[in-house]
Structures are given as C-alpha cells and as structure tokens.
Copies of this chain bind each other. A is one copy, B any other.
Amino acid sequence: MAEHANLRIKLPVVCIVLEVILIILFGALVEYDEHTSANKWTSPNHTDYENEFYYRYPSFQDVHVMIFVGFGFLMTFLQRYGFSSVGFNFLIAAFSLQWATLMQGFVHGLHHGKIQVGVLSMINADFCTGSVLISFGAVLGKTSPVQLLIMAVFEVTLFAINEHILLVFLHAKDAGGSMTIHTFGAYFGLMVTRVLYRENLEKSKSKNSSVYHSDIFAMIGTIFLWMFWPSFNSAITAHGDAQHRTVLNTYYSLASCTLATFAFSALVNHEGKLDMVHIQNAALAGGVAVGTAGEMMLTPFGSMIVGFLAGTISVLGYKYLSPILESKLKIQDTCGVHNLHGMPGVLGAIVGIVTAAVANEQTYGKGMARVFDHIDDVNFTASSQAGMQAASLGVTLGIALLGGLIVGFILKLPIYGAPPDSQCFEDAIYWEVPGENAESGELCAVKSEETDKLNG
C-alpha cells in the first residue's frame, strides 16, 4: 500500500504537537467563568437554579450529540469508509472544540487577559466544530487525518474571525448559524475540495457508494441531527421565550422539509423510487434554513414555508446541480454539502434578512430588544438590521471562499500522507481492518478447497 500514506510518524507528531500547544495556551489563558468557578459563583451567593448550566446544558448535550453522532454517522454511508467517517470526525471534532475555545475567546476579547469558559463557550466551540465537520463532508474520503487536522487549524481561526465580524461589528443575528456555520463551512469546504481536485478519482469509483447496512448506519446520523436541530438553533439565544420559540420554528421547518424531501425524491426518479441520499441529507435542510430567523417571530407558518423550500432545493441540488458542479467546475463534493449546507445556508441568510426587515414593536412587544440587541441604538432600525444581515452573508461568502482557496493550496502540499487516487474512500489505508467473519471464512475455505479438488 502507498508508502507515503504511512502515518506512523506524521499523525502522532501532529496530534501531540497540537495538543501540547493547546495545553500550554490553556494553562496561560483559560480560567473558569463566574458560573463555573467555586470562588466566583459563591461569593455573591447566587441561587443555584440561576446558574447558566440549567438553562443551557440540555441544549449543549443535544448539540454535542449532533456533532459526534450526527455528523459522524451521517458520513458512514460509504461502504468501506465507516471507520474513517466516524473516527476522523471524532478526532477533528475533539481537536477543533479545544482550538475553537481559544480562537473564539481570543478574537472576541479577553477578560483581564483571560479567556473565560463555561457552558456557553462549550456550545460555541461545538458550533465552530460543526463548521469544520461540514467542510470535512466535502473532502470526505480524499484526505488524510493529518490534512484534516491542518484544515481545522486554519478553518477554526477563520471561523472565529468571520463570526466576530458578523456578531460584533455588523450586529448580525445568527443564533443557529445559517451563515456563520453552514454557509461558511460549506463554501470553505467546496473551495478546498476544488483546489484538491483529483482528475483520476474514478479509480476509486467502486468504493464511492453505499451498501445496504452502511445506509442504515447513516440514518442514525440523520435522525439524531434531525431530532436535535431545534436544540442547535436555540442553544445560544436569549433565555425563556427566545429559546422556546426557536425550538418551535425549527421543529416545524424540519417536519415540512421532510415531506418536501420525500415528494421530490420520488418525483425526480423515473421509477418513482426514493433515494437514500436525499432522505439522509435533504430532510435536514429545513434546520439549516431557519438558523438565522428561528429566534425571530418567523411563526410556524413561515417556518414551514422555509422548510419546504429548503427540502426542495436540496433534493434538486443533489439530483441536478451536483453532477454539474463536478463535471463543469471540478468540485468533487463527496457528501453534497452544497445541497445540505451551502444553498440552504444562503436561503437561511435571506430568510433572516427578510424577517428582520419586517420586525416591529407590534409583533415583538418588549421582546424586540431581546431579539435584536441593537435595535434601541440611535438610527438602528429593522431595516438597518436587515442591511447588516445582508452584509453578513456577503462577508461570510467572501471569507469562506478566499479562506478555502488559500487553505486548499496549503493542503495540496504532498507532505500530509493523502491517499492515492486508487485508495480513496477506503479505510484500509489508515486503519487495521478486520477480515470477514469466521463462518464466511470457513465457507470460503471449504469452497476453495472444493474448487481445488475440482481443478485438481
């Protein structure tokens, strides 16, 4: 097997060096926030149920499940890449959440020279990790774990910068990350996979597909993502009605999206048969598309329309757009992240612009300033908010595409142990893969014995 893909030195060195750097920086910069420190929490004698933990931890755990089970298993659909899908997802997520804690803390500003951590920073770190995993979906099967870790180093950094520009400079709202997470992750990943274009990828064509059970494993990922998406979109909104409303909007958007997905999946197949790729992916687009407006007064009605549109464009994207992107633009997008995160993310940004533009005191009451933090500022109206949302989409696309371009070229260097064209989508290049089971083994043995006898 490809000698240069032997990671015996590369992977340990990269992992250990990165982790040591993380530990040193954590030692120098990170401290408990006032909700996690024994000292700070108890000094003014809070009531324990006011601790942020009880408002956020159930949501955090749902987000955590989406990151590790959701993304991890969603990508196990490939027949011979299950170990890598769930395993590399695990590795780069474990790295990214640590690195994101530092980058987000650093970019968003230190408190007396320190980064303070608690359940909110954990959710934000998981969110940033989600963005990296979206990009991972675009390059799945064609990259080494070393490449993925290097990608994560850069992507997390750019994510934190983009997020800071949007949320702080532009006053944008994007609690569920239609822009910061999905649009960013998708277009960054698409640009990386464009730069890493492999002309002879058809050499691994036979492995770039699913088998029966791998598709069922992937449904574990799909369903957990689908169920917990309401928690994802609401995890960092304001307390009370905002979290509650975001959950509701996301729930209805996803339900509506699912019906659209089944409808169009059957419609675009000449025998009317459903395609697992659509069900596994497009049914989730409804969650992406209310990532920005979910906390606003979008209404269940509005959410369902958005979800329906998202499911529709996602299925059509898988069927008609992805083949064109590959053949014309040389974008080999393994998981079709453009259809699940790219287009629905942009749709979500647009929905956010529109929903912000029509916001008014009559609908929101005193809640107006809780949803749009800057709306009480001088000269900052609902239209200003909408304008900022639009600017945010542009900034995100710009940073994602430019960042992906540069990082793509960095990852093109032939030093990371990337798999050869013939060994893409194949676990055996990076993993000890077990043989078939004993009984089948025996069966084969018997058979070949028989055949030998016959030949003899």
A154 at the interface (CB under 8 A from B): no
Closest to A368 in B: B38
A106 at the interface (CB under 8 A from B): no
Are B364 and A98 in touch, CB under 8 angstroms? no
Contact string against B for A residues 263-304, beta-carbon threshold 8 Å, 1 for contact and 0 otherwise:
110110111111110010001000000000000010111001
A387 at the interface (CB under 8 A from B): no
Q: How far is B448's CA from A447's CA once the two chains are assembled, in angstroms? A: 9
Select one of B80, B122, B269, B447 contacting A437, CB under 8 A. Answer: B80
Distance to closest chain B CB from A434 (angstroms): 5
Interface size for A (C-beta < 8 A) is 151
Q: Which of A61-69, A161-169, A178-186, A395-403 contacts B (4 or more CB under 8 A)?
A: A61-69
The residues in A between 53 and 93 inclusive whose CB is less than 8 angstroms from any CB of B are 53-55, 57-58, 61-62, 64-65, 68-69, 72-73, 76, 79-80, 82-83, 86-87, 90-91
Contact string against B for A residues 186-225, beta-carbon threshold 8 Å, 1 for contact and 0 otherwise:
0000000000000000000011011111011101100110
Q: Which residues of B contact A226 (CB under 8 A)?
A: 68, 90
Main secondary structure of the interface of A (DSSP, over half): helix
Are A367 and B252 in touch, CB under 8 angstroms? no
Q: How far is B255's CA from A76's CA once the two chains are assembled, in angstroms? A: 22
Closest to A277 in B: B432
Select one of B35, B211, B266 contacting A244, CB under 8 A. Answer: B35
Are B82 and A216 in touch, CB under 8 angstroms? yes
A415 at the interface (CB under 8 A from B): no
Q: How far is B49's CA from A58's CA once the two chains are assembled, in angstroms? A: 14
Are A54 and B57 in touch, CB under 8 angstroms? no
A377 at the interface (CB under 8 A from B): no
Contact string against B for A residues 237-273, beta-carbon threshold 8 Å, 1 for contact and 0 otherwise:
0011111110110011011101110111011011111
Are B215 and A83 in touch, CB under 8 angstroms? yes
In the complex, besides A42-B241, A69-B227, A117-B248, 8 extra interface pairs with C-beta distance below 8 angstroms are A36-B245, A41-B244, A48-B239, A57-B58, A94-B258, A98-B255, A118-B244, A206-B441
Q: What 6 pairs across the A-B complex have the smallest Cβ distances?
A: A38-B367, A8-B272, A39-B365, A41-B241, A48-B240, A94-B258
